[in-house]
Amino acid sequence: MTDSTPAVVDALPETNPFARPWELDLELPDFTAVKPADIEPAVRAGMAAQRAEWEAIATDPDAPTVENTVAAVERSGELLSRALTVLYSLTSATDSPELDALEERLAPDLAAHEDAYSLDARIYRRFKALDERVQSAAAATPAQIPVDADGQVIDAETARYIRLAVEEFEREGVALTGPDADRLRAINARLTALSTRFATLTTNAMHAAGVANFTATPALVTAATHAERVALLNRSLGRGLSGEHDTRAIVLEEAGLRAERARLLGYPTTPPSSPPSRPPAPARR
């Protein structure tokens, strides 16, 4: 069985509030206990811990099972998830240049962290082996109940999870090697940095224009005349298109990188975020 506890991680001091699970109901974050300076060490320690957990899964000499592969992956990253939940909640809900800068600074490293998993052919092969067990059982005559190397039944929900994991590995470029894989990592890092910078600029542009990031901006309440409403509309439509908040160069660079990424992965255009067999995600407001 895979040991999900990493042998060597970047230890957090006990004074860091992320060093242990939250004690609030449902393990909700205790935002009052967090200082901005606590977040970056926790994120970096969390990445190191999860990388160690992934390495333990990838190098497990035992045959892949639901427990030592699927469950082990699901258990990984507890500290990182705890830290990023707080960071992203704060950057979404507050106007904090310090945290915006931190998010931008971490973006390339987080992209590399994600690639460490999605481009790891060793973990992919473990999921692939489990998926092949499911497919072989389904193809048998009569059809059989799939089991893993430990004899544990692979139920329908787990089988679906495994299939989607295999598809995601393949869609994200796990088959790439050498210079192509290196270029994919570089593109992913740059795209993450650009999208994070874009979000910061658009938020700042929204504040500078005095508008909100939704249709019924509160300023409409005090816009008494048609001219005031037209001016408000123009400020809303023009945000992010000039001055220090101009995002057009970012959009153009991101479009070019996404097209290059698609070609690397063998797609004529940007690959879908969901495989054909996965139902579409619900629309977001």
The per-residue pLDDT string of the chain (285 residues; one tens digit each, 9 = 90 and over) reads 444 344 334 578 889 999 999 999 998 999 999 999 999 999 999 999 999 999 999 999 999 999 999 999 999 999 999 999 999 999 988 888 999 999 999 999 999 999 999 999 999 999 999 999 999 999 999 999 999 999 999 999 999 999 999 999 999 999 999 999 999 999 999 999 999 999 889 888 887 877 766 556 777 778 889 998 888 888 888 888 888 889 999 999 999 999 999 999 999 887 665 444 443 333 332
In the structure encoding, which two tokens stand for residue 176, read together? Answer: 């790439």
pTM of the model: 0.83
Q: Is 153 helix (H, G, I), strand (E, B) or coil?
A: strand
On whether the CB atoms of residues 258 and 191 are closer than 8 A, the answer is yes
On whether the CB atoms of residues 3 and 49 are closer than 8 A, the answer is no
On whether the CB atoms of residues 52 and 8 are closer than 8 A, the answer is yes
The amino acid sitting at 198 is F
70's CB contacts (< 8 A; 6+ apart) are 127, 130, 158, 161, 162, 165
In the structure encoding, which two tokens stand for residue 235, read together? Answer: 């400020």
Q: Which residue has the tokens 């939250």?
A: 22
Q: Which residue has the tokens 């945290």?
A: 99
User: What was the pLDDT predicted at 241?
Assistant: 85
